[in-house]
Structure 1
Amino acid sequence: MKHPSQNSSPSLDNVYRIYWLLVALFVGRMGDLYVLLSRRASTLRTYAGDTSLPGGKRDPQDHNIELTARREAFEEIGLPLDPQKVPLLCILEPFLAGNSLIVTPVVVLILDNTLRPILNTPEVTSLFSHPLISFLHSEPPFATEPEMLEMKYHTYDDVSSSTRPGKVRLHRFMTGRETGGTKPIFGLTAAILIRVATIGYARAPDFEVNAPGQPSQEQRIARALKHDPIFREAAALEGIDPGRIPEPSALRRQVRTRDKRRARSKL
C-alpha cells in the first residue's frame, strides 16, 4: 500500500476508514486476564457513549499497524508507547464492521501495574476493565445488581444486510455498569474480544459465535472489496482492478484447501 506522501491521490486507509484498534490486556490480582475498555464521550459525532477499544486511522508518521494502534491508545487514554512496559502479543486478522469499515486489532500486554490513565476527555469519558474470560461465557462474571436481574448478561441478534448475503451475529455483553450509564459491549468490540479470548484461553465459547451459514471474515471482506461501491472506488485510487479480486466462493475453496493442508501436516 502506498504511503500518503508517495501519491497525490487520497490513500485507501486514510480516506476509506481502515482502522486499527488496541486490545490492552493486563493480569489481575488473582492471575486472570482483564481488558481495558473506554466509554466514548457523549459529544462525539459517531458511536457517542459507546463502550469501545482505543483506535483510529493511520497518521503519515506511523510506520506500521502496531504504531498506529499504540499512538491512538496513547492519545485517548495515555497508555505508554514504550514496548518494554506494554509489549506486543499479536496482531489479529482484519474484521469487517458496518458502514464499510475494516478494523485490525493489535493485542498488547500491560506489564507495569503502576501506570495510571490520562484520559483525553473530549473523546473518552471513563476507563474500566472487564475479565477476558467472560467473553467465552453466557453467564456474568460479576454479582448482578437488583436492577439488572431481568437483563441477560449475554445476548445476540442475527442481522441481515441488503448488500451482503447471509446473516451476521452481533453479540452483546453487559458490563455490570449499566445502571451508571455505561453501555453494553456490543457488535465489533464484542466480536474482537470473543476472538481474543478464544485464542488466549485456547477454547471455544459456550455459545454459538456465528449465525447459521454466516460467511467468514475473509469472505465478507472479499465480497466488500469486490462489490461495495466505497471499496471499489478506494481500489481504483490505489490502482487495483476490482474485477481481479476473487469472488468469495473462490476464496471459500482456497480456505478449505488451506485448512485441509494444515490438518494433514499435523498428522
Structure 2
Amino acid sequence: MSPKTKRSDLLKFHRPKLRLDSAPIPTLKPESKLCLQTLARYKPAKHWQKLVFPKSRSAAVLVALFVGRTGDLYVLLSRRSSTLRTYAGDTSLPGGKWEPGDRNLEWTARREAFEEIGIPLDRQKVPLLCVLEPFLAGNQLIVTPVVVLVLDKSIRPILNESEVASIFSHPLKTLLHSEAPFPSEPETLEAKYHTFVDINWTGHSGKVRMHRFLTGREAGGTKPIFGLTASILIRVATIGYGYEPDFEVNAPDQPAQEDRIVQALRTRPLFRQAEIEEGLDPDKVPDLVPREPPSNKRGRRNFSRLRSRL
C-alpha cells in the first residue's frame, strides 16, 4: 500500500454505493430497509483499531443477507459435512481461516464463501454492508464477521460437498426473539425455539452465554444455530434493527469480548507463539476500554432518526 493511500480510500473503492431504491431486489419492508441502511453505516468503535491480531490465528465469516419475497431479511446458513474433522454437521456461516494471499479479512470471508457455497466474489452483485468487531472462538481463532447483501436473484449455490452438506436460510429478525417464527414440528413440540447455556471461559472468573435457536429443520437432521454463529447473528440483528433482544444476551458478570481477546493474546500459548512468529510482542497488547452495549432507548432513537430521512 502506498504511504499516501488511506485505508478509507480503499474501503470506498471496494464498497460500491448501495442504492436500495433501485437495487434489483424484491420490495423491502420499511424495517428491512432501515436495517440495511443501519448496517451500511456501522463502524466498530475506534478502540478496536489499537489491536493487531496474528494473521495465522485470524478467520472471517460471511453473513450473507438477502431479501425474501415478502420483503423480510434472511441470512444464508450452511450445514457442515458430516465427514469434517471439526464441527461436523454443525449449522454455520460460510468462512474460514486467513490464508497467505488474502488481501484482508473481507477477502478471506468472500473467498471461503465462494469456495464453500459459490457466492460470487463480484462486489456489484454482493456489496459490502459492514465489517463487525471480532469475536473470540473456542478453537482459539479471532473471527471477524463480514456482512454483505446478495443482490443478484440469479445466483445459484454450488456446494463443495466435502465441506458443506446443504444450505438454507433463516429470518434475521427472529434472532432477537424467544418465540419461533415457524410452526413447531411434531418432533420438536416440547423444545423451545431459543435456549442458552452459561459455560466457564478459560482465563476468566465469569461465564460466557452460548445461545441456541432451532432452525425448524431438526427433523431432517439440521442442527440448531448455536454458539459463535448465534452470537454473531444476534449482534448483526441488534445493530441492524436498532433494539436489544427480548432475552438476556450475556451471562451475569460475563467478561466483555474485548477483555477476552486481549487476555487470549497476552496469555494463551497458541496466540503468543503466533504473535512472536509474526513480529508482534504479546506483552505489549494494549488495554481496551469496552464500549457499553447499546440500550433499547438509544436503538429506538437511531431507528427514528433513520426513518425521518426516508
Q: Return the TM-score normalized by structure 1.
A: 0.87
Corresponding position: 1:47 with 2:82: no
- Structural RMSD (CA): 1.9
CA deviation profile, 1:197-221 (whole Å, cap 9, x unmatched): 0011111100000001111111110
The runs of at least 4 consecutive aligned structure 1 residues that moved more than 6 Å come to none
Does the Cα contact within 8 Å between 2:256 and 2:290 map onto a contact in 1? Answer: no
Shift of 1:156: 0.2
Partner of 2:290: 255
Partner of 1:12: 54
Shift of 1:112: 1.0
Shift of 1:161: 3.0
Partner of 1:25: 65
Does the Cα contact within 8 Å between 2:145 and 2:232 map onto a contact in 1? Answer: yes
Give, in whole Å, the separation in 1 of the partners of 2:239 and 2:135. 15
Q: Structure 2 regions of 5+ residues with no counterpart?
A: 1-52, 303-310
Name the CA shift for 1:56/1:221 in 2 (closer, same or farther; >3 Å).
same
Equivalent of 1:104 in 119, 124, 144: 144
Partner of 1:34: 74
Does the Cα contact within 8 Å between 2:204 and 2:255 map onto a contact in 1? Answer: no
Question: Which amino acid is the alignment partner of residue 189 of structure 1?
Answer: T
Aligned positions of 1:104-143 closer than 5 A? 104-143=144-183
| 3-state secondary structure, aligned to 2:255 | coil
Shift of 1:229: 1.5
Q: Return the TM-score normalized by structure 2.
A: 0.75
Partner of 1:219: 259
Corresponding position: 1:195 with 2:222: no
Give, in whole Å, the separation in 2 of the partners of 1:201 and 1:64. 27
Give, in whole Å, the separation in 2 of the partners of 1:106 and 1:161. 25
Partner of 1:158: 198
Higher deviation after alignment, 234-243 or 137-146: 234-243
Q: Structure 1 regions of 5+ residues with no counterpart?
A: 1-10
Give, in whole Å, the separation in 2 of the partners of 1:240 and 1:165. 27
For this pair of structures, how many residues does the alignment match?
243
Equivalent of 1:68 in 108, 114, 135: 108
Give, in whole Å, the separation in 1 of the partners of 2:279 and 2:101. 23
Give, in whole Å, the separation in 1 of the partners of 2:269 and 2:220. 40
Shift of 1:146: 1.6
Give, in whole Å, the separation in 1 of the partners of 2:66 and 2:122. 15
Shift of 1:227: 1.2
Partner of 1:183: 223
